Amino acid sequence: MYEIKFHLSNEPEKHECVSRQQYREQRGAKLSNLGPGNYSARVRATSLAGNGSWTESASFYVPQPKRDYDSVLYLMVSIPIVVLVIITSLVAALIVVNKKRNSDRLGNGVLYASVNPEYFSAAEMYVPDEWEVPREKITLCRELGQGSFGMVYEGIAKGVVKDEPETRVAIKTVNESASMRERIEFLNEASVMKEFNCHHVTSRVTCGLCGPRRTHPVCRYPPLKKMIQMAGEIADGMAYLNANKFVHRDLAARNCMVAEDFTVKIGDFGMTRDIYETDYYRKGGEGPAAGALDGAGVTERRRVHHQSDVWSFGVVLWEIATLAEQPYQGMSNEQVLRFVMEGGCWTSQTTALICCSS
């Protein structure tokens, strides 16, 4: 057996014993728990015969241990990843549990939706009534053209008019990509139309009775009497709307349907407003109407009055007299708005229309 005494400078000696077998296995003696610094050590042999002499002190140096930067970097990267994985797992577990709880409470395949998810004003919400027609009673025949909300079709409605098994109608649709507000405005237009009862204003049921709109090639001017008749029928329909405190806001030749016998009906009430209480309607969240058809009061003060329909009627007279030419030709939208707000108006055509009306 061997005895080893060693010490760090200025520290007391430490004592360790190493058996001969350990010495052979380790091929020497290994001292443990040594801190960095300069050491002195001496050795002696011990047997049954007694202790041998101590050797001369031998000095050795234990250096500072090198820091394992790779291990530190690994810990810095791995710990945040582990924390993130744990948090993600917890969130996913909470979502699954919440969905399971909701499905158990509501039942599989059942969807509960609010009738007013966008929180619109109650005055803007459409209320279903007895005018609703089941889809199975409507048959689409062919496309008539693109409307303000979507495609317009010619179709057949069964049992919507008393004593008529089938009624020929125009069916307006709304685009699938339309917003909730556009859908509500579409239904509100139907609500407005069902209140009308005038031969020259389309109603909710009779909108298709005048026949589909057709485009005829223009070869010559129609007879003056026919033009005056069409203007008078449009004026009759607008007078009916004004008497019932409605302002159309979008009167134009494109929104008037003409039957084969030249009977004219005013349609497209998507922008119509009731002005019963205040005699005018101030335009709010909606965009401005076309400046070519609005008067200066609408354009400048954004206030809609029945006189704005009078201005639009004058434009319709222009369209009739010119065979539906574009008003304010050669002018941009900004130029039209500036022209109208500055009091601009036609000259010779305006004089002729005033003479006819007087």
Catalytic residue set? 250
> 203 — phi, psi (to 5°)?
-110, 180
What span, in angstroms and rounded, lies between the C-alpha atoms of 232 and 255? 16
Q: Which amino acid is residue 126, in one-letter code?
A: Y
The answer to whether the annotation marks 67 as part of a ligand binding site is no
C-alpha closest to that of 242 among 215, 272, 213, 284: 272
Name residue, tokens 């009055």: 305
Determine the distance from the C-alpha atom of residue 20 to the mean position of all C-alpha atoms in its chain, rounded to a whole number.
87
The answer to whether the annotation marks 163 as part of a ligand binding site is no
Largest CA distance in the chain: 151
The answer to whether the annotation marks 254 as part of a ligand binding site is yes
E strands within the chain? Answer: 2-8, 14-18, 37-47, 50-51, 58-62, 138-146, 151-161, 164-172, 246-247, 256-258, 264-266, 273-274, 280-282, 303-305
Residue length of the chain: 358
The answer to whether the annotation marks 33 as part of a ligand binding site is no
Per the annotation, binding residues are: 172, 254-255, 268
Per the annotation, binding residues for Mg(2+) are: 255, 268
